[in-house]
Amino acid sequence: MAVPDAEPGERIALGTQLFRFVVTGVLSAVVDFGLLVALMSASLDHTPAKALSFVAGTATAYLINRRWTFAAEPSKRRFVAVMALYGITFAVQVGLFAVLFPWAQRAWGDLVLVQVDDFAITVPQLVGFVIAQGVATAVNFVVQRTLIFR
């Protein structure tokens, strides 16, 4: 199903915005999670790894959401508002991951789901990531749609 593009400033229907936000979120989550696992596989501790992966995923999300999901013109005010929101989201997401990852490690150990050479995806990584990402995604959509890109 093709979703038509909108001109900058044109209001896009809620269903279309939600669809585009989810597609963008999935792509951004792949960037975020892929970098998280790669950094942890390179022996970086889970919290700094999550911080760096969040920044990469967030940059991806902002660029795509501004242009495609919400069809918004570039604006310094909007950029500052999104960066403030992402700062809050950063604290929520990295904070949740910092709490959930050790909890999941205690529950499942370092149970590996996928391993290729030194690159491993573990249950604690996936559980912590999915919960933290889900909370951050919900907050982001509501704030962006109702306050930033209205």
Q: What is the pLDDT of residues 15-34, one digit of tens each?
A: 999 999 999 999 999 999 99
pLDDT band at 143; cut points 50, 70, 90: very high
d(Cα 111, Cα 88) in Å, to the nearest integer? 31
**Where does residue 104 fall: left (phi above 0), alpha (psi -120 to 50 degrees), or beta otherwise?**
alpha
pLDDT band at 128; cut points 50, 70, 90: very high
What's the pLDDT tens digit per position in 65-76?
888 998 888 888
Yes or no: say if 39 and 53 are a contact pair by the CB < 8 Å rule: yes
User: For residue 101, is pLDDT > 50?
Assistant: yes
Name, in order, each residue with C-beta under 8 angstroms of 150's C-beta and a sequence gap of 6 or more. none
